[in-house]
């Protein structure tokens, strides 16, 4: 069990004990509906009434913003869904690598279980806290706009899943359906979009908190690299592979002389390059007459790997410091480079080479290629993490900082995701009724509005089924 899992299970145990005692003491206020235990409370209605009365004019003006943002989120989510389908159709190898189905509830330890290294770990306590924040803000904002427009509220409260141990699952504001339906279309649309608006604001607020927390609790502690120095080499210029001379070189001739294991030496008249079999295989279908080959550098020959954290015992925080330390030495000198991979530190004794561009300067031959995330989800992740410098390793100033930072990261990510998903023009979401009222306001015809509502719902259902089909097919792609 790692440090953060121990923290998670401890906090989760404390939470379960606290909620169990609370529900036992408040058992008279509990009502069972389906699989949930509902705890109804009046203080929620008092808060909602107080806010809606105090800020009545502000909420009236804000309604236009809320509805406008609702339309923007609806359009953007439809676009995202289309892009995701395109990726699933056009790039089955990427889909196969991700492994998990496109329609999967985010449950504790899901990234850990599927080894989704591009996502932070997700714990029980994250799940509970995030559900609470998202559900409470979402439902209370619905309630505030209901009361602003005179729509009756039957009750407010929280829902718990009672089996095995009580887990918080939901907050609710139970509206009076007749009162809601009698309200003007504009008022209903403001109420429906208000919950999504609350999730969006929650995401933005915690994004700011996350940036501030990160700047206070993390510090640069190493230079990350993702490639060795490489060159673009013309295939006809190659004269030997693993000391075997070849004439009129082509890809197949080169590949036939490649060894299964380790690095292979490829020479031109003036230079020596290195490549492994996998690296060459990946270039098999290239339509160019060139190969990407690693330069014969000290880094690749020593097999240096991990994040560079020290040079001759001097700590390295970023690439500038690494370059500064390196320039203290000359080609031919031996230096010790310390790297870190996970919790393990490794020392490499490296003889510095000559810089290809200036023979008087030392050279190791490591670097990084800036990579942009592909796909809509990747773009969201990239945006959320944009305040961190790329290829700089950060270390927390205390262990729990990582646990807290990842909680904030997930809170932002899920808040934005819920805001987008909830505005899909589909029956089970607020966006479904929102879309129906939009068509009704335009056509003034209930039958047409109901028809378009059904069409929209069925199209989106078909799109989700399509995603699942292409996810299954991706496993049959070589």
Mapped onto helix, strand or coil, the DSSP state of residue 100 is: coil
Per-residue model confidence (pLDDT) at position 150: 93
Same structural domain, 144 and 22: yes
Task: Assess whether 272 and 333 both reside in one domain.
Answer: no
Tens digit of each residue's pLDDT (9 = 90 or more) over 383-411 = 666 778 888 999 999 988 999 999 999 99
DSSP state of 424: S
Given a cut of 90, is residue 123 above it in pLDDT? yes
CATH code (residue 329): 2.30.42.10
What is 136-172 written as a DSSP string? HHHHHHHHHHHHHTT--EEEEEEEEE-SSS-EEEEEE
Q: Could you tell me if residue 381 is inside a domain?
A: no
- 318 occurs within a structural domain: yes
| 465 within domain boundaries | yes
Is residue 73 domain-resident?
Answer: yes
Question: Are the C-beta atoms of 456 and 436 separated by less than 8 Å?
Answer: no
How much is the pLDDT for 57? 94
How far from 399 is each of 4, 222, 396, 403, CA to CA, in Å? 9, 17, 6, 8
| pLDDT tens sequence across 18-67 | 888 887 888 887 887 777 778 887 778 888 999 999 999 999 999 999 99
Angle at the Cα of 99 from the Cα atoms of 228 and 280, rounded to 5 degrees: 30
- Between 385 and 203, the more confident residue is 203
**With bands split at pLDDT 50, 70 and 90, how would you rate the model's confidence at 83?**
confident
Q: Given 367, 384, 404, which residue is the final one in a domain? A: 367
Q: What is the mean pLDDT of residues 98-109?
A: 79
Residues 96 and 240 in one domain: no
- Is 372 part of any domain? no
**Mean pLDDT calculated for residue range 313-332:** 93
For 170-190, what is the mean pLDDT? 90
- Let me know whether 358 and 398 are in one domain: no
Residues 9, 158, single domain; the answer is: yes
Domain that holds residue 336: 299-367
Q: Is residue 373 a part of any domain in this protein?
A: no
Indicate if the pLDDT at residue 86 is higher than 90. no
Please tell me the predicted confidence (pLDDT) of residue 165: 55
- The share of the chain scoring above pLDDT 90, in percent, equals 54
Q: How far apart are CA 362 and CA 382, in angstroms?
A: 34
* Interval 135-164: pLDDT, tens: 999 999 999 999 999 999 988 888 877 765
Residue 385 belongs to a domain? no
pLDDT digits (tens, 9 = 90+) for 352-373: 999 888 888 999 999 887 766 5
Return the pLDDT at 282: 84
Whether 180 and 42 share a structural domain? yes
- What's the confidence (pLDDT) of residue 281? 87
Whole-prediction pTM: 0.83
- Whole-number CA gyration radius for the chain: 29
Confidence of residue 270 (pLDDT cuts 50, 70, 90): confident
Say whether both 65 and 148 belong to one domain.
yes
Same domain, 144 and 86: yes
The pLDDT tens digits for 418-430 are 999 999 999 889 9
Q: Are residues 261 and 319 in the same domain?
A: no
Examine the pLDDT at 206 and tell me if it is beyond 60.
yes
The number of distinct structural domains making up the chain is: 3
Tell me the C-alpha distance between 181 and 179, whole Å. 6
Give me the pLDDT at residue 363, please: 92
């Amino acid at each position: 069990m790692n440090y953060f899992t121990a923290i998670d299970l401890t906090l989760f145990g404390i939470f379960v004990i606290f909620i169990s005692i609370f529900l036992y003491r408040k058992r008279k206020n509990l009502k069972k509906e389906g699989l949930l235990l509902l705890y109804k409370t009046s203080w929620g209605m008092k808060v909602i009434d107080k806010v809606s009365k105090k800020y009545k004019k502000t909420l009236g003006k804000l309604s236009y913003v809320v509805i406008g943002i609702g339309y923007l989120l609806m359009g953007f989510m439809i676009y995202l869904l289309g892009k995701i389908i395109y990726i699933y159709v056009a790039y089955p190898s990427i889909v196969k690598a991700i492994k998990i189905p496109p329609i999967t509830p985010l449950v504790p330890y899901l990234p850990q279980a599927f080894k989704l290294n591009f996502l932070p770990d997700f714990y029980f306590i994250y799940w509970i806290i995030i559900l609470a924040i998202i559900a409470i803000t979402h439902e209370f904002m619905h309630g505030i706009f209901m009361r602003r427009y005179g729509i009756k509220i039957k009750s407010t409260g929280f829902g718990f899943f009672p089996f095995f141990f009580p887990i918080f699952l939901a907050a609710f504001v139970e509206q009076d359906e007749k009162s809601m339906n009698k309200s003007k279309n504009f008022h209903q649309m403001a109420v429906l979009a208000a919950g999504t608006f609350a999730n969006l604001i929650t995401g933005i607020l915690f994004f700011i908190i996350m940036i501030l927390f990160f700047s206070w609790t993390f510090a640069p502690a190493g230079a990350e690299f993702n490639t060795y120095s490489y060159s673009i080499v013309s295939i006809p210029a190659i004269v030997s592979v693993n000391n075997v001379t070849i004439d009129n070189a082509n890809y197949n001739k080169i590949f036939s002389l490649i060894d299964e294991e380790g690095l292979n030496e490829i020479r031109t008249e003036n230079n020596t390059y290195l490549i492994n079999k996998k690296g060459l295989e990946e270039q098999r279908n290239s339509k160019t007459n060139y190969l990407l080959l690693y330069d014969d550098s000290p880094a690749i020959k020593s097999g240096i790997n991990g994040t560079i954290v020290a040079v001759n015992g001097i700590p390295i925080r970023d690439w500038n410091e690494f370059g500064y330390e390196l320039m203290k030495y000359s080609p031919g000198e031996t230096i010790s480079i310390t790297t870190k991979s996970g919790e393990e530190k490794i020392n490499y004794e490296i003889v510095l080479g000559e810089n290809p561009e200036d023979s008087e300067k030392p050279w190791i031959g490591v670097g990084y290629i800036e990579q942009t995330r592909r796909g809509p989800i990747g773009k969201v992740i990239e945006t959320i993490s944009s305040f961190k410098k790329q290829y700089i390793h950060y270390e927390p100033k205390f262990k729990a900082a990582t646990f807290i930072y990842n909680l904030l990261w997930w809170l932002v990510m899920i808040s934005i995701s819920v805001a987008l998903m909830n505005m899909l023009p589909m029956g089970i979401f607020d966006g479904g009724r929102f879309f129906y009222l939009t068509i009704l306001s335009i056509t003034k015809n209930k039958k047409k509005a109901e028809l378009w509502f059904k069409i929209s719902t069925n199209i989106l259902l078909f799109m989700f089924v399509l995603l699942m089909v292409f996810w299954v097919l991706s496993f049959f792609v070589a």
